[in-house]
Structure 1
Amino acid sequence: MSGATSFTSIPIVDISGLRSPDRAERERVAAEIGRAARDVGFLYVKGSGVDDALFDDMLEATKGFFALPLEEKMRSYIGLSRCHRGYVPIGEEGVESGTPDLKEAFDTALDLPADDPDYLAGNPMLGPNAWPDLPGFAEAVTAYYDAVLEVGHRLLWAFAVALGEDPDVFSRHAIKTPSQLRLVHYPFNADAHDVIGIGAHTDYECFTLLKGTAPGLEVMNGAGEWIDVPPVPGTFVVNIGDLLELWTNGAFVATSHRVRKVKEERYSFPLFFNVDYDTVVEPLPQFAGTGAQRAALRAGEHLFAQTAQSFAYLRRRIDSGDLVLPEGSLGLGQFGQQALHGASAAG
């Protein structure tokens, strides 16, 4: 059973102490992060150490890409990739709900060489990025990705310590991860009113580090109510994903969230921090036998199965019989508050 409370606001945690040489200071911050993970599943973090200029450079590069003609953007269409990288046009996502998401995106991840053995073996989430022919784009996005990924590694340590576990219990599985950075664009729509931009969902990985440019994000609390999560300067939004909920058997909460359509152009940059593709995730021994026990999942297979059910190009492959989901794959919406309160609570 989820531990999320009927919170009405999102806590802000200063994580600069995670870089302290003082172990006691690092543990103090980890404990604060753990409380937010248990009670809310969402938190703002400040003091990350990421240079604002890295975000600014990536934002400018992103705006330049999305301003290109559709025909040019489609040269990097995600459906042309063998490892789920590239341009995601409006209407590509959300098909499973019958209401396509009102956004476009560009999906990147760990940029591996074309001769990477996992890629050559057909891994569906590991391989090279599909960079467009746009000067400076790959460099700006990669610099930001690397900096935020480093923050993610510190948070992974903190989550382990907050649980009273070996500090490396998660980190030993985070060597070559399919951690994705999405560049998301919500176009300006003067006629927009209270409609969903992205439907209610949880994130498929361990946790997410998000920076956005405008309001619209909402999170569901323990009572099934939607709480606004506006941008706060100098912070990232961090939310718990499916895998940490599974590892803790619900002690940490994969909080359902959604994006409402707003009347301003909006950019959003979530980095979904994952563990290695073949990592087997199941409740840690301290949580075994507490509440309803969930079955084990492989981290990368869960990510791929959820992705395949959400993207039109992969759903077409499933429907044609060209793609079969990994054995034991879950349907969408099996974690977080959405699962507890039922799909009707999604609005």
Structure 2
Amino acid sequence: MATDFKSIPLIDISPLIAKCGDPLMDKDPGVAEVVRQLDRACREAGFFYVKGHGIPDSLIREVRTVSHKFFGLPYEEKLKIKLTPAAGYRGYQRVGENITKGVPDMHEAIDFYREVKQGMYRDLGRTMEGCNLWPCDPPNMKTLMEEYIDRCTDLSRKIIRGIALALGGSPEEFEGERAGDPFWVLRIIGYPRVPTANGHGTSDNDIGCGAHTDYGILTLVNQDDGITALQVKNSSGEWISAPPVPGTFVCNIGDMLKIWSNGVYDSTLHRVINNSPKYRVCVAFFYEPNFDVGVEPLDFCVKRTGGAKKFERAVYGEHLVTKVTTNFVM
């Protein structure tokens, strides 16, 4: 459960990255310190920044630059990859088409998912069947984003190994049948400037993305420098800003890790309000469980929390499909 935190902690994960392939990584003092910081951040905020992650700044910046180029195209051009159910809910959505708790969000976006072939997950995966829709312009977008997805998948797996240790399990706790074949989502989001209501706070219609939690295990947020828009809700109900820190990702816990941890780690509410005069881009990578895995509290987490399961079993794919099929005005 999130506490009354006032800022988002920053963690240098370079010792964890360096030792992640070592079978004795949990014995390393540097790794142990990263694990301690991860545990505290996940318990107290559910959000944290990471630096020392190993993904080149040049790639992180280029991903945002290419995203700006796409969103700067004429509307008719962007519609060539329009999101539809027939495409497995992949593609472009205009401003206001994404819905959070019944309210249109003031952003446009492109959604990419791990591609699902017919019959891959039997009936469970039918809704998500399809190939990603890549624009012709910018011409390097597909190649660049696929490299970025590979890098983010590898980084997420390493961070999750640290989180597994922080919970009290083995580094491999979320590999194999749980997330050894992870689903992933890449969401490229563009936020036009949305002024506050009469200069006094916000109304529902001012919010770039309404308050929500993420669905899976871990999210990596790559946000434009110089624009503070992401806000995280603490236990007192205050919205705490997560301003961009160059060279870092903002990370947060998803719903499935909340269940696996039996609530030791929470998926914290967050929202986006862009009051900057600039157009803002955010590229969010979601590291998810195996699509068809059943998720329920882990035994050692149940013991850590007093011996009772706080959550019912959930199937990740069912959870995702329920969200996806109610998130859009089609």
Q: Which amino acid aligns with 1:149?
A: T
Shift in Å, 1:81 = 4.2
Unaligned runs of 5+ in 1: 314-347
Shift in Å, 1:156 = 1.3
Q: Which amino acid aligns with 2:163?
A: F
Shift in Å, 1:166 = 2.3
User: CA separation in 2, counterparts of 1:33 and 1:260?
Assistant: 27
SS at match of 2:189: strand
Q: Is the 8 A contact 1:31 1:161 kept in 2?
A: no
Q: Segments of 4+ in structure 1 off by > 4 A?
A: 119-122, 189-193, 289-292
Shift in Å, 1:307 = 2.0
Deviation string, structure 1 residues 233-281 (Cα, Å, up to 9, x no partner): 1110011111111111211011100111313210001111101111111
1:161 equivalent in alignment to 2:165:
yes
| % same residue | 37
Deviation string, structure 1 residues 96-121 (Cα, Å, up to 9, x no partner): 42x31110001113356xx5652897
Shift in Å, 1:215 = 1.0
User: CA separation in 2, counterparts of 1:142 and 1:116?
Assistant: 22
SS at match of 1:138: helix
CA-atom RMSD in angstroms: 2.2
1:203 equivalent in alignment to 2:214:
yes
Q: Is the 8 A contact 2:228 2:274 kept in 1?
A: no
Partner of 1:306: 323
User: CA separation in 2, counterparts of 1:232 and 1:86?
Assistant: 29
Q: How many residues align?
A: 308
Deviation string, structure 1 residues 189-241 (Cα, Å, up to 9, x no partner): 57875432111110011121101112111101122211111111111001111
SS at match of 1:78: coil
- Distance verdict in 2 for CA 1:81–1:149, change over 3 Å: farther
1:179 equivalent in alignment to 2:184:
yes
- Distance verdict in 2 for CA 1:143–1:256, change over 3 Å: same
Deviation string, structure 1 residues 151-190 (Cα, Å, up to 9, x no partner): 1010111111111112212122324332111110012457
Q: Which amino acid aligns with 2:135?
A: P
Stretch of structure 1 that moved more, 128-137 or 41-50: 128-137
Shift in Å, 1:93 = 0.9
Partner of 1:337: none
1:7 equivalent in alignment to 2:24:
no
Unaligned runs of 5+ in 2: none
Q: Which amino acid aligns with 1:256?
A: L
TM-score by length of 1: 0.82
User: CA separation in 2, counterparts of 1:290 and 1:84?
Assistant: 40
Q: Is the 8 A contact 1:13 1:43 kept in 2?
A: yes
Q: How does 1:18-97 map to 2 (within 5 A)?
A: 18-21=16-19, 23=25, 24=28, 25-79=30-84, 81-94=86-99, 96-97=101-102
TM-score by length of 2: 0.86
